[in-house]
Structures are given as C-alpha cells and as structure tokens.
Amino acid sequence: MLVLVTYDVNTETEAGKARLRKIAKQCVNYGQRVQNSVFECMLDPTQYRLLKGILSEIMSENDSIRLYNLGDKASARIETLGKSKSYNPVDDFLSI
C-alpha cells in the first residue's frame, strides 16, 4: 500500500532540521521524498507499524506527522502542478 507521510516541523531551528533529516532518512528506505516534508512510502502493514514507531521516537511533541494510507491503486489519484520530483509511485516500483 502507498502511504503518504507528511511532516510538520519547525525547520528554523537546527534541532528541527536534524529531525527532518532523520525522518527523511527513514522514509526513503521505503519510497521517495516528493516535497520538502512529504514522502511517499510503499509499505506492508508490518513495515507501516515499524515506520510509525521509529518516526514517533524521532519527532518531538511539537512536531506533527500525518500518515495517509492511499491503498494499492494510488497512482491514479495523484496529480502534480509545477515542479515534480517524483516518478509514478506504483508502476515504477513494480517494474524493478
């Protein structure tokens, strides 16, 4: 399933920037960074729970993480305007 991870952190502090880097490092294990604090991750239910646990430990209480489970047919429901760094999250994964 494709899970969207959005992360709200105060990046005006060095600590916040460091946490964002750590969050990014975890998320890109499973997918890609599509915007500064938005990641698309391909996860099974076990990986989902694992990632959620790790992110909970990295973040601080004033940060906010939102996880959106887009299911298995997500790519048909994603549109981008302007600069887009991503590839097609579902099909391109399957073609590896």
Q: What are the residues binding a second copy (CB under 8 A)? A: 4, 6-8, 34-38, 52, 55-56, 59-71, 74, 77-85
What's 84's DSSP letter?
-
Nearest to 74 by CA among 46, 36, 37, 32: 32
Q: How far is the CB of 95 from a second copy (least distance, A)?
A: 22
Q: How far is the CB of 59 from a second copy (least distance, A)?
A: 5
Known binding residue 91? Answer is no
Q: How far is the CB of 1 from a second copy (least distance, A)?
A: 9
**Residues 75, 7: contact at Cβ < 8 Å?**
no
Give me the sign of the Cα torsion angle 62, 51, 73, 81: positive
Positions at the binding site for Mg(2+): 8
